Structure 1
């Protein structure tokens, strides 16, 4: 039987708290300055040196502003690192708005198709409720980016620049989701009335036309062809006329995205290592690349990332950026805040327990651009963020190796770095996870 809180219980807790004099000092500091400022460990901040034994030359960071497109920015940043090097470009950027447009359009179709697929499921069931909770949003995953590039290519930022709503996405998401939920009502009602799939598809076609209109009015219309003009670092002028987004990607980026694979570390009992996983109803492009993860131990994940960095190629990675991190300092370190000493109690969940009990999941994607190796082992990593130059050290962060162990969940690497055993494991048919599994979380931190 449930037991309520009594007056005597509160009195006991209060007496125990006030019997320890130092709690008054901590309370005063915390009420005035906040938890993190009180718990900050200055020694840890000093130890996070912004120097790395292995470092890729990148340049000025990008800025996703008030949008959750970190996964998209991180991926396009890895592309532009290559372009800046090969074509001698100065802080060149690819259009995040172009990719964002097609992502939202495809997610809308993915949602409507999911509504049709679950039309016989109860409205108040967990699956339909989960689908309706977020028809579309800014967040995403690496394989979702690959699907967009395969279908639509890329364009320079100058061809389709940012707009107010691409950089401040809340209102566009609200309008679009309101329209999509309205569309879901119509599709489910028409299904219940016995309309054929062909009739439903015609209705859906009209809905997508409205979605396209909302996106064009908010974000602009994506170009079909364009002229690419630039001056390189040697001040030489270049012009490429009438090029398509696919032609541009093939000529100027040139990466075979089929060579890149998602490696995760999810140390939970239901996800054995060296198995592949996918997540039901997770994606953006219907018929696009399915989500697929290969789960490995953390040491293997880090070794793969190190090998790619040493080959002078940056690494897309996903993490829980809000834990033990400081945006102003640009530091991510498990020693940065000493909550145990500050509050006088243990905080001892394991990485697997944090996943299982919803204390942590992948929330943000960034780029590894350097690592500091001591006797061949990493002790800190250089991170390129997409929050502009005011965050961290001109937009760059330093991440301790211990933080990476605890709060990094995914890296994307070329499969040439995988051992033969891992390549064989990657070829396995993926195990399907429930839509609400923590590994179905999307990178979308602002």
Structure 2
């Protein structure tokens, strides 16, 4: 039986408010300053002092501007750090995010078309079809998705393929591409319904992809097939490396075995037992490319492998819910930053699993761990390289408390050699397939 709010209930609420200690003072403060400014605890800023016992030199912070490419920036930044250390390039050297962005858009279009064809026999009201059409593609992604792009297309310096209006502010491009993809979905579904041949469908899809290539080329510029890499190092020595392909450049200047780097998640929900592998249906970008695969572990293991990689001198890609208990301008992420429970005398507490299950939290942003403060061997706070430019935080770097990592970090990427042997063995396990809308399939 449903019940409306009664007059007696309202009277009780009003009476309770009148008897609440400091109610009028709190009302004046919140109406004037807002919730977060009133609930802010200045002591958090003191404890989040940006000094770390392990602090990697990584150069200047990049800026993704008005785009959702954090996952891509974070991955390319981890690779840039190696180039910075090994070849003494300038602090402002960057790999081209526009280059990988171009290929991601083209590959995501193809991935979308393939999923449209796979679900063409389902009604548009089906949840999977509705999920596809809600956002045919977007800027976000995951570690395995950018690795799939690099394995297929390589990388280039930003000087070879610089930023454009559409790469730095992607809203117009995304709305245009999504309009095209939804229109194309109508046609592909109609072709399937009319029993068109595989050759007819393939020919039409090829024409669609040709149009997407044109759309991307006008917006980002056409990617180079080969290029010259010219720079002066920090000792002012001149270097010229000619006729490189993007794959040549990756092999010579980065040279990682990308298969060694694996996604470690902490998803403490009942449907994801620890120490097992997971993937997500309809999540990816490169058809027949690298699969998104996650190893779910407890937080003790999660932080331990991150510390080990930092101790080895290598930065760590990670994904988190950046909007939770954080101050963008000060560059602080700390569970003690705001005292909303004290301000309102309301218990807002939820477990990490409850926040995931009930839609309160999921991974929204990817950044790079470049330092950690260890006290008696245990981390107390972490240094974070963001991709929002140098006007926020400490020249673009943030400080994250260890308690914040516990509650709002969901993914780190580490070299598998830092995992204990029993977990390296688990990596070979066939992953359990999660639903497309599972929170572990969220895109940073």
SS at match of 1:214: helix
Q: Per the alignment, in what secondary structure is the counterpart of residue 136 of structure 2?
A: coil
**1:184-333 to 2 correspondences below 5 Å:** 184-333=185-334
2:393 partner SS:
coil
Gaps of 5+ in 2: none
RMSD over aligned Cα atoms: 0.8
Aligned partner of residue 348 in structure 1, secondary structure: coil
Aligned to 1:418: 419
> Deviation of residue 18 (structure 1)?
2.4
Q: List runs of 5+ in structure 1 lacking aligned partners.
A: none
Q: Deviations over 1:163-221 (max 9, x none)?
A: 11101111100000000000000000111111012110100001011111111111111
- 2:12 corresponds to which residue? 12
Normalised TM-score (structure 1): 0.98
Tell me, in whole angstroms, the C-alpha distance in 1 between the residues paired with 2:101 and 2:25: 49
Q: How far apart are the structure 1 equivalents of 2:420 and 2:190?
A: 52
Please give the alpha-carbon distance, in whole angstroms, between the structure 1 residues aligned to 2:23 and 2:53.
Answer: 43
Shift of 1:359: 0.5
Aligned-partner Cα distance in 1 for 2:216–2:38: 45
Q: 1:28 Cα deviation (Å)?
A: 1.3
Q: CA deviation at 1:71?
A: 0.2
CA distance in 2 between partners of 1:146 and 1:304 (Å): 20
Displacement of 1:21 in angstroms is: 4.7
Q: Hey, what does 1:46 align to over in structure 2?
A: 46
1:11-160 equivalence runs, <5 A: 11-91=11-91, 92-160=93-161
* Cα displacement (A) at 1:121: 1.0
CA distance in 1, matches of 2:55, 2:394: 15
Determine helix, strand or coil for the equivalent of 2:371. Answer: strand
**In structure 2, C-alpha distance between the alignment counterparts of 1:123 and 1:16, rounded to whole Å:** 49
In the TM superposition, what is the alpha-carbon distance from 1:283 to its structure 2 partner?
A: 0.2
Q: Quote the Cα distance in structure 2 between the aligned partners of 1:5 and 1:48.
A: 44
Matched with 1:385 is: 386
1:142-181 equivalences in 2 (<5 Å):
142-181=143-182
| Helix, strand or coil at the partner of 2:273 | coil
Cα distance in 1, alignment partners of residues 261 and 186 from structure 2: 39
Q: 3-state SS of the aligned residue for 1:136?
A: coil
Give the distance between the partners of 2:176 and 2:190, measured in 1 at CA: 22
Q: Aligned-pair distance for 1:5?
A: 1.8
Distance 1:431 1:383 in 2: 31
Once residues 172 and 164 of structure 1 are traced to their aligned partners in structure 2, the CA distance between those partners, rounded to angstroms, is: 10
SS across alignment from 1:49: coil
How do 1:317-396 residues align onto structure 2 when only pairs under 5 Å count? 317-396=318-397
Cα offset for 1:67? 0.5
Cα distance in 2 for partners of 1:30, 1:246 equals: 55
Distance between the aligned counterparts of 1:311 and 1:439, measured in 2? Answer: 28
Secondary structure in structure 1 of the residue aligned to 2:384: strand
Aligned equivalents of 2:182, 2:6: Cα separation in 1: 45
**1:187, 1:389 → 2: CA distance?**
45
Secondary structure at 2:205's aligned position in 1? helix
Residue 65 of structure 1, CA deviation: 0.4
Detail structure 1 runs of 4+ shifted over 6 Å in the superposition.
none
Q: Which residue of 1 aligns with 2:433?
A: 432
TM-score w.r.t. structure 2 length? Answer: 0.99
Q: Secondary structure at the match of 2:79?
A: helix
More displaced stretch, 23-32 vs 413-422: 23-32
Three-state SS of the structure 2 residue aligned to 1:412 is strand
Partner SS, residue 389 of structure 1: coil
